[in-house]
Amino acid sequence: MPMQEIAVKIEKKQLLDELELLKKLGCDGRDVVTREEILRILEKRKKELLEEIHYLEKKEDALIGGEYDLSLFDKNILCEDPEIVLRKPSDNDLKPYYFLKKEYAYMKSAFAKPEYKNELWQEYLSDESLYYTIARKEDNDFIGYCGVKNLNRKIWEIAIEIKSDCCHQGYGYRALKMYLETVANMSNRHEFASRVDTDNIVSQNLMEKLGFQPYGLSEFLLHREEDKLAAEEEYKDKLDDRYMALAKKFNVEPRKLLSHVLEYRMVV
């Protein structure tokens, strides 16, 4: 499971960096931090930010700067079938939403920070996304969510997560099928994308059942070329027959599957 192992290493490095910073700020018994130490920490952070800005600039051509009419989606219920309803998030969804996000998160330590949890909730409610809660009709309980992650992108990328105790009951397929058909009809936007971990066979099967087609690979946790090459070398022993078949399906070099996630596309 390369991407999960990569995430664990990144998380460990972040925690060690935070520990080092705390020590430098006096937790190692000193009362002061030298100017040189502060400058070194700031310079390191500046380099990280510049690398992130460079990455975002490379992706800028994927943005349309956007106009979309959110008033089309003002109603509380987007769509429904006899068992489930896709509705706008409510305050009662807050705790189950946090639990779900943590359940599937690559880096669970971030949930110890209240500001991170608040940021997740604000993203869920944001006008720049189009997320809906998936709820059972019988009790209106939260069982998951689906939606467009960023309305400003040329190709709308969808995301879906279902509580583990509600998986394998057809909720994900029915919810996403309804969502895609409804949103396409209302917005006149018909092309959608989805990114899936190379080890997430369940989600791969879901995308293909819905009619998504292999499109290529997408960056996820790793953006610098040297980091991607290092991961491909470290995990090359994991390239079994399933990876080879997957590489053939997506028409990519097998080792690239170790440093990227899969991208699917669909026209509704």
pLDDT value at position 88? Answer: 96
Residue 78: how many other CB atoms lie within 10 Å: 20
Residues whose CB falls within 8 Å of the CB of residue 184, separated by 6 or more in sequence, listed in order: 190, 192, 268
Angle between helices 94-104 and 114-125 in degrees, nearest 10: 110
pLDDT value at position 72? Answer: 76
Predicted TM-score of the model (pTM): 0.80
3-state secondary structure of 26: helix
pLDDT value at position 224? Answer: 85
Would you mind telling me the total number of residues written for the chain in this entry? 268
- Cβ pair 57, 146 in contact under 8 A: no
pLDDT value at position 74? Answer: 83
**Phi and psi at residue 135, to the nearest 5°:** -130, 150
Distance CA 43, CA 60 (A): 25
Comparing CA positions, the residue from 179, 176, 173, 257 lying closest to residue 214 is 257
pLDDT value at position 80? Answer: 96
3-state secondary structure of 196: strand
Tens-digit pLDDT profile for the chain (268 aa)? Answer: 666 666 666 666 666 666 666 666 655 555 555 666 666 666 666 666 566 655 555 555 455 545 566 777 888 999 999 999 999 999 999 999 999 999 988 878 888 888 888 999 999 999 889 999 999 999 999 999 999 999 988 899 999 999 999 999 999 999 999 999 999 999 989 999 999 999 999 999 999 999 999 999 999 888 889 889 998 999 999 999 999 999 999 999 999 999 999 999 999 9
pLDDT value at position 83? Answer: 95
